[in-house]
Amino acid sequence: MEVFSQYIYKLRSSGLRPTKQRLMISKLLFGREETFHFTIENLSKLIKKKLNKKVSLATIYNTVNAFKKKGYLKEIPLEGNKTYFDTNTSSHHHFYDEDSEKLIDINNEKISVNNIIPVSPYGKTIKSVEVMVRIASDNHNQK
């Protein structure tokens, strides 16, 4: 029951009422041991597959965006209009597998970033530097 109350807390602290649908979303996002990377579309399909329920895209968008605003999820935009969300909100890096369209975490210790941090514009401070390494099969055509 303690885990269930954590979902309710996250929802309420994000300004959302803990409805059955939002609790299901919370459980799918935060009820796992490993980091979860997803798009809204992936999450919608996962809800339908795992829970055999249909949840409106509006409910999914609203819940995910409220969690993002509160800091429970990190948004990772890719080129075009593809956006991933990550349950690991710490500063870390990713591989993006173009074949499977999946994000894979890279431990910070495995990346060495030297001399690429630019001078920030006047009045702005660099909050973090995150690296996205795009990967594909060897026979994948490069763009």
**Distance between CA atoms of 130 and 88, rounded to whole angstroms?**
13
**Cα distances (Å, whole numbers) of residue 12 to 7, 22, 26, 89:** 9, 11, 12, 19
Asked if the model's pLDDT at residue 141 lies above 80, the reply is no
Burial 101-119 (b: 16+ CB within 10 A, else e): eebebbeeeeeeeeeeeee
Task: Give residue-wise pLDDT tens across range 4-54.
Answer: 789 999 999 999 999 999 999 999 999 998 999 999 999 999 999 988 888
Task: Give residue-wise pLDDT tens across range 103-133.
Answer: 988 877 777 767 666 777 888 887 777 777 7
C-alpha 21: how far from its chain's center? Answer: 19
Say what the pTM is: 0.81
Rg (CA), the chain: 17
